Structure 1
Amino acid sequence: MKDQENTDFNRIAEAIHFLRKNFKTQPRLEDVANKLHLSPHHFQRMFTDWAGVSPKKFLQYTTLEYAKKLLKENGNSLLDTALDSGLSGTGRLHDLFVNIEGMTPGEYKNGGKDLSINYSFAESPFGKLLVASTSKGICYISFFENEKKAFQELKSIFPNANYSQTVDLIQQNALFIFSHDWGKLNQIKLHLKGTDFQLKVWETLLKIPMGNLSTYGQIAERIERPNASRAVGTAIGNNPVAFLIPCHRVIQSNGDFGEYHWGSSRKIAMIGWEAAKTDLVNRNDL
């Protein structure tokens, strides 16, 4: 079995896929563990270490009913509520710490000519990442299966840039977001190649609190383009910074989680993982 297939996340993703496909039959712990060729005890421990909750509880966070409940509770004012309610802690993480700077017209049009881009490969709870940065901030984060292919995809965005496989402080600071040791976070800056419309959509995504969901229509309303849901969807699909710009928190209006550039199982895993972490924080605050 390949090393990548042995990672915890791939097993978690397989478990999530199995649970969602068979949730009507309420599969036992033993059934899921057997599917992964693990003992029930090992699977339960691995899953709980990863998600912070049991497989059964996690499934509750990744059901259609859960998504509909969140959308109903937040309604069309989800983003306004997040901005206006003075939320603290995890809910305000992106609003407080992440800022976008668009590239200059020259940088945008000439394929990154004269840009120096550092890149590195890293681990996350959701699989391997390619992280890239300029002197001004993170310009690209992508999940990948193959390093060579991942780097080629980065180069296709900035074909004329100068590349160095180097881990820098900008990258390290951004990756702290996965550790939940957010006391170490400095302000994260993103240096992005995008149209004005795309940048506006991506900035709006940053306002969706962790553990919450929004819809394409709600995003369109927020940017005052209520008839542009399809264009919003395209901009979200072109998000160049996985997880930090939380396009995984945008779902369909009927509660279906929908597709994701880096795989639907990964999107579902992110939604459930964030819901579990937020729920734990909220309980600890009581």
Structure 2
Amino acid sequence: MQGITAANNQMLSDLISTWKLSDCQGCLPQNIGTATEEFQKTFLAVLDQNGGCDPYLYEKEARPSSCLGTDAGESMQSYGSAACNPNEKVETTSSSGTSVNVKRSVAGPQSTYMAAITTASGLHLELELSDDARITDLEDGGISVTYRGSGETHVYDAAGNKTVRQNESDTFAGTDKDDIFINLRGSEVDGGAGNDTIINFANNATLHGGDGDDTIILARASIGNTINAGGGNDSLQGGVVLKSNIDMGDGDNKVDLDRLGDGTKMLLGSGNNTINVNRISRSSIAVGNGKNIFDVNYLVGPEISLVD
């Protein structure tokens, strides 16, 4: 097997630099599939040291079966492709009946996304997003879309006619309605009151569900996030969660994830909680009073404790 030569070390350095600037730190660069198996293992180990990549992600049992190749190189090349990344598309419907389909359209450090939005009244919009957005239903059957970076709110009436309003103050925080947040790169989201939906693509972000029955969707491998679901019967959905702190709060909560790892801490308050996680490794879970149901396929050194 080929060793780590000087040329390979340069390739390793280049790949690390590219990965650190990428918008998809839960994936692998596709061209790593051409490297030797020894080089691939070294690459994963260095990513782990840099914080943000866990080599366990790439074990065969953790990959979608459709992404496995005939050898290590082919498998890793396939796993890094958009077709085999389960976190490139999110479909959800808010409690008010508005459905959102978000899909990445342009990859890279400044990725853009397409959001198809359909309200309960039948209004349909397709928006290209490069900024964090808050979507709120209006009483006339239309919606408003507030963008964090520009400070603009685009108001669409029930017929789809748009007006643009420049906000004089920070209005990106949640309303008392059932808001939908699409957080691409923001460091913090506060849902406020209402049954909100937060779709999060960012790492190292703080997500507050607030009061109400909120849904938080981690749209890609989640690294270094702080999640406070707040009061209510909340739901947390996603794939891989690493180096994160999660407080689901009191209520009958539901957690549906592929994996918890790398020192992730989860607190489940009082209530009847349902936890469905494919794999838990090197993480801790504290549960409060209530009937808690765990469905876990694979455990590696978890710490599970009771909170009075």
Answer whether TM exceeds 0.5 for this pair. Answer: no
Greater helix share, 1 or 2?
1
Bigger Rg, structure 1 or 2: 2
Greater strand share, 1 or 2?
2
